[in-house]
Amino acid sequence: NGPDMIRAMTTELWLNALAISMDSKKAAGMKFTINLSTPDNGEKFVVEMSNSALTNIKGYQDKNPNLTITVNRSELEKVMGGQTTFEKLQAEGKAQFTGDRKAFDQLRSTLTTFTPDFELMPGTKAKKAPPAQQNKDPFEAPPIANSDGA
C-alpha cells in the first residue's frame, strides 16, 4: 500500500474495506454506533454495527453514539498505511476518543486479515500462499490484490 494509493482511497472506501474484513461470527450480538469526524477535510460518518454487519453513512453523525473518534484525515491515512496506530495517535494527542472505547475494541476484535489464496473457481487456487503478516494493525488498509491469475 503506497502512500499515493492510501491518499486516493476515500474514507468511505476504507470504512467499507473494514466491513469486508470483519468476521461476522465474531460480531454476533454486537450493537454500537461510532461517529467518525475528520476535521481537516470536514468529513463526518456514522458507523454502525448491527446484525453482524458494519455499515457507514457519510455526512451524518448519530445523536447518541457509543463513541466519537476525531482524527484528521492526514493522520488517519497513516493508520490506513500501517505507519501508526490509533493508540499512538491518541497518546500524541492527534486522535480523540469521546465516549465508551468498548465499541472501538469490539470492532477491532472482529477484523480479520484474509489470505488471498482462496479459489474463486475450481482449479484457480495459487500454488503457494503469500506469507502472512504478523502483528499487522487490523485498521491498516488491505494490500492491492494480484489479479494476474498466477
The Cβ of residue 99 has, within 10 Å, a number of other Cβ atoms equal to 17
Question: How much is the average pLDDT of 20-36?
Answer: 96
Instruction: Give the tens place of pLDDT for each residue, 61-74.
Output: 999 999 999 999 99
Tell me which amino acid residue 124 is.
T
Q: Which helix (H) or strand (E) holds 71?
A: strand 67-71
Domains defined along the chain, listed by start: 3-110 (3.30.1050.10)
Give tens-digit pLDDT for 100-149. Answer: 999 999 999 999 877 766 677 777 776 766 565 556 777 776 666 555 55
Who has greater pLDDT, 7 or 67? 67
Phi and psi for 46 in degrees, rounded to 5? -110, 130
Cell numbers representing residue 78 in the block: 497513516
Q: What is the rounded CA–CA span in Å between residue 120 and residue 46? A: 33
| pLDDT more than 70, % of the chain | 83
What pLDDT does residue 8 have?
86
